[in-house]
Structure formats: C-alpha cells, structure tokens
Structure 1
Amino acid sequence: MATTNFIPTIWSARLLHNLQKSLVFGQAGVINRDYEGEIKSYGDTVKINGIGAVSVGDYTRNKDMVDPEELSDHTRNLVIDQSKFFNFQIDDLDKIQQNPKLMDAAMREAAYALSNVADQFIASHYVHAINTIGTDAAPIEVTKENAYEYLVDLSTKLDESNIPTEGRFAVLSPWFEGLLLKDDRFVGSGALPADDRLINGVVGRAAGFLLMKSNNAPTVEAGTGVEANSKIIAGHNMAWTYAEQAAQVEGYRMEKRFADAVKGLHLYGAKVTRPEALAVLSAKRPE
C-alpha cells in the first residue's frame, strides 16, 4: 500500500478497533470509559467530577427539617501519562510477493502489541484495591479443592462493600482456571449466554463473577528461588476508569529504502476511583 493512499483517520480508527478487540482488563465489562473525553496529547487531564455522601435524617410531622447541607465536591484527575509508539516498514519487494493485505495484518499486530502493554498497565492498578485476601508476604496456597471457595470469598468481600452483584468480573491466571476446571461446581455451571461469549478472554461464570483469563494477570516475585504470586483481580467496572486515544498514525516513504513505513502513537491513562469495588486474591500456585 503506497503512502499516497494512506488515510490517517481511517487507520487510526482501525488501530483503536483492533486495540479494543485485544484488551481484557481494558474492555468495557471490566473497566469503564465514562470519562474518555477529548485526548489530544501526552499529559492531558480528564476531570472526574463527583459529589460526597448525602445525609439522611428522621422526618417529624409539623416540624421543620434542618437546613440543607452543602454537598462536597470530589473532583479527581485522570492523567494521560502513558505514551507508546510503533514504527514498522514494509519493503516494496515484500508488497509484491506477499498478500496484498499485508499492511492490515501488520496494523493488527501493532494493535495487539500496544494493547498487551496497556492491559498490563491497567492491571497494575490492583494495588489500590481495598478488599484483599492474602498478601505478597503471605499468599494463599490455592488448590483444586479451594480455588472455587476463594472466588466465593472475593464475592463476599464485595458484598460487604455494598458493590452491585450485576456486572461483577474476575480475571484469572491460566493456572487458576486450570484448577477450576477440576471442580464440578465450575464445570457444571452450564453454557454462557451469547453476549458473554463476545467478551475478550471469557472462560465461564462462577460465584457471581464473569470469569476471564489473561496472561496479564499481575505476578509478584516473592523472593529468590520462590515462584511468583499471582493476583486474581475481581470487582465491578465502576471501580476504575480508562481513557485512550490513537493520537497519531502516519504513513511515510523511507528515504534510503524502497519501502513504506507506518508509525503510530497510543496515549492512555487509568485511575481507580472506587477502590472498594475491587477485591484481590494473592494466590500461590500449588507445587
């Protein structure tokens, strides 16, 4: 594809579409995009406006209520502090010899690479969760007998924080899903609805969660010679927010080669706004 036929707006849209197809932590069922707004450059700030708690009092007939309270303003800033790029070339000889859709395939690969890094960034925000089971120093040893039970415990943590039951998710490490597959309570949960199957990484439902699997579930090194602990992140998408933009996608002709090249810039940021809506299990893989 010659750069003379390169339309940046079309390829920017294609890049974002492919990014969203690849995200697990960054998809709508896991994190909200309510404040995406207009992102133009690195360092942009998205203001998240909210209000404080409203008091409730007893009403007595024929008696005046107290004066109305002033609502406190809870404004948080989501800073677009991540800026990643790609830059690849396609030689003219390759364009002749390869499939004519080579550029499209390369853009899909670029989107996957960007989304993989973005997913890891989003997942790293688990550290702000209020509800935790186990710690880095004392992780929970999970087995096929208790894996399901700890999902229930995560659900209970969210119940105690008054988090809605509808729309809860949990993102698992592959080995954790492997343990669940040995438990009849998970295997016998039945087929997923069609809408659920469209969600990236989805593997089933259990303990009130829509379960997804991702190699980007965080791990923490426990020490020399000790296997890393996995973080099983559960919650509701009200807990955190994500904003992204393919700020620039440009095609250009390489000066010293017979080749077209494409470079792109991906800007994004994430913030936990309701830490009580996240619950994290620090899990040790059975030996």
Structure 2
Amino acid sequence: MTVKNFIPTLWSARLLANLDKKLVYANVVNHDYEGEIKNLGDKVKINQIGPISIKDYLTGDGAAKKLADPEEITSTQQELVIDQAKYFNFKVDDIDAAQANIKLVDKAMDRASYAIGDVIDQHIASFVKDAGIKVGTSSAPVDIEVANAYDQLVDLAVKLDENNVTRAGRFAIIPAWYLGMLSKDPRFTKDFKVLENGVVDGADVAGFNLRMSNNVPVSTKKYSIMAGTDQAISYAGQITKIEPYRPEKTFADAVKGLFVYGTKVIEPKALVNFTCQIKAV
C-alpha cells in the first residue's frame, strides 16, 4: 500500500496529531499472570483459598489445653484462557520513505500499537457484563442528571463496602458526559484535570479514583459504567511475534506482529456494572 498522502512537493517534519481515545481499562485490571503465557491457547490455573474456621481454645478444670484436629484447606480453581489473537501487517514503500523525510515505519508502529491497545481496551470493557453487583439494567437504566450524578457513585461505593471490598485502589470509569455533570455539582472539586491515561487527577467521589473513557460500553444510549478494584479482573497479554521483512514484488519495508491475550472476571463481588443514561429533559 503506497502512502499516497506522503507525496507532496514540500514535506513537513511533523505528522498531524491523531485524535485518539484515551486507553483506560487495561490499567484497572491485574496483570499477575502475564509472565506465564507464551502462545494462543495457553491456560493459567488460578487458585483461591477457601475460608478457615476459628474455634474456641477450651480447657477443663486443671486439664491441659487441647486443639481439635486440623481442618483441610479447601480451594477453588479458575482458568484464565488466552483465547484472543490480533495481528498487524503494514509496509512503507521505499519511494515514500525517501521523500517523506520522517521515520514512517516508526510512526506506523506507534499507530499499530495504539490500534491494538484500543481493541484490548474495548475487550476488557466488555467484561463489565460479568460484574457481581448490578445497578440498573438495559431495560430499566438509572436516569442521570446533575442533581444525582454524585450521589449515584456514593451508592456504588456502599455496594462494594457491603461486599467487604477493600477501599484501596477503587476506580470508576465514566463517559465524558458523566464527568461533565459531576463538574456542575458543588460537592465535586473543580480543581482537576484529565491526564493522558484517562485518570481524572485531583478529584474522586466516595473513594473512587475516577477515569474517563470513550470506550465505556453503550447500547441505545444506555451506558455500562464499570467500578470496583483490580482484584476483580485478571488480564494477560503477550507479543508473541514481531518481524520486519521485505515483501516480494515491491521495494518496501514491512512489519508484521502478533499479540495474544485473555481476560477473566475472577472476583465478581469486587466489580460493579452500573447501567445508566442521560435523563431526558
């Protein structure tokens, strides 16, 4: 594919900035098992220890203290399957590379990396459907307006508290319109900024670290906001192959790469699916 846009008479030393979405979801999951995968189809066994009983330490009159027989430790096992594979394959013709006076291959690699990241971001976002805490439904979403946007997040925090979910590292991923409504509430600090990774720096609600994303799942204007902690979802990804090469029948540099990954909700009680919509006026 000839990069025809790169054949003007005068060449710019810069590329036009891309209007990219901020990639958020991969930063709110745990990557604990990432080093254990190598190929598509790999499986990671995840063990979780069951509860341990606490017993009274009893004595009789003048008798020595005695312990009951030790109990068997029970565990449950879940399986994280590396079941997704994506690739890229592009080329830059030698004539384009010579005329452009910029590193087209390097820039194209940046674009390929972003494109894969965006696919993964949307993939992880889709797992909100497996949350153990559900507030609102697609048939009965919660109406959001300035008056209740803040309070609804407080209520989500209470739901997590009731499930004994740690308050450390809690997040909520909201669409831009929701952040706009929060900004109009005097209880929400106005001294914040949205960083490149989507984090709403300098502001939180009920202990949530807020993040803004345009990848929040939406269907017929009903949004599925994800909230919880990184205990909830495990993700593992690996670049398995990346190869530069010279294609036949053309004078060009080409690069192809393969990325495999898998995602699983392993602690649904630590994850919220908040289905909402903008209140009609």
CA distance 1:191–1:23, shift in 2 (3 Å): closer
In the alignment, the residues of structure 2 paired with residue 127 and residue 166 of structure 1 have an alpha-carbon distance, to the nearest angstrom, of: 23
In structure 1, list runs of 5 or more residues that go unmatched: 1-21, 221-226
In the alignment, the residues of structure 2 paired with residue 31 and residue 139 of structure 1 have an alpha-carbon distance, to the nearest angstrom, of: 25
The secondary structure found in structure 2 opposite 1:158 is helix
Cross-structure match for 1:252: 245
Deviations 1:224-271 (A, max 9, x none): xxx321011100001111100011111111111111111111100011
Asked whether the 8 Å contact 2:23–2:213 carries over to 1, the reply is no
The Cα of 1:52 is off from its aligned counterpart by 1.1
Q: Which amino acid aligns with 1:202?
A: V
Cross-structure match for 2:223: 230
Output aligned runs, 1:113-262, within 5 Å.
113-188=115-190, 190=191, 200-203=197-200, 204-220=203-219, 227-262=220-255
Asked whether the 8 Å contact 1:37–1:46 carries over to 2, the reply is no
Asked whether the 8 Å contact 1:95–1:102 carries over to 2, the reply is yes
Q: Size of the alignment, in residue pairs?
A: 254
In the alignment, the residues of structure 2 paired with residue 200 and residue 94 of structure 1 have an alpha-carbon distance, to the nearest angstrom, of: 33
- 2:28 equivalent to 1:25: no
Q: 2:106 aligns with which of 104, 107, 119?
A: 104
In the alignment, the residues of structure 2 paired with residue 164 and residue 259 of structure 1 have an alpha-carbon distance, to the nearest angstrom, of: 54
Cross-structure match for 1:12: none
For the aligned residue pairs, the C-alpha RMSD in angstroms reads 1.8
Deviations 1:262-286 (A, max 9, x none): 1111100011111000112100122
In the alignment, the residues of structure 2 paired with residue 178 and residue 100 of structure 1 have an alpha-carbon distance, to the nearest angstrom, of: 39
Asked whether the 8 Å contact 1:154–1:280 carries over to 2, the reply is no
The Cα of 1:219 is off from its aligned counterpart by 1.4
The Cα of 1:91 is off from its aligned counterpart by 0.9
Cross-structure match for 2:44: 46
In the alignment, the residues of structure 2 paired with residue 230 and residue 278 of structure 1 have an alpha-carbon distance, to the nearest angstrom, of: 16
- Larger Cα-atom Rg: 2
The Cα of 1:135 is off from its aligned counterpart by 0.8
- 2:268 equivalent to 1:279: no
The Cα of 1:191 is off from its aligned counterpart by 5.1
Q: Percent identity?
A: 49
Q: 1:37 aligns with which of 35, 38, 43?
A: 35
TM-score (normalizing by structure 2): 0.85
In the alignment, the residues of structure 2 paired with residue 96 and residue 268 of structure 1 have an alpha-carbon distance, to the nearest angstrom, of: 36
Higher helix share: 1
Q: Which amino acid aligns with 1:43?
A: G
The secondary structure found in structure 1 opposite 2:76 is coil
In the alignment, the residues of structure 1 paired with residue 58 and residue 152 of structure 2 have an alpha-carbon distance, to the nearest angstrom, of: 47
Deviations 1:9-62 (A, max 9, x none): xxxxxxxxxxxxx641111xx111111123221101112122111112222244
Cross-structure match for 2:69: 67
Cross-structure match for 2:84: 82
Q: Which amino acid aligns with 1:66?
A: A
Q: Which amino acid aligns with 1:26?
A: A
In the alignment, the residues of structure 1 paired with residue 79 and residue 197 of structure 2 have an alpha-carbon distance, to the nearest angstrom, of: 28
In the alignment, the residues of structure 2 paired with residue 158 and residue 142 of structure 1 have an alpha-carbon distance, to the nearest angstrom, of: 20
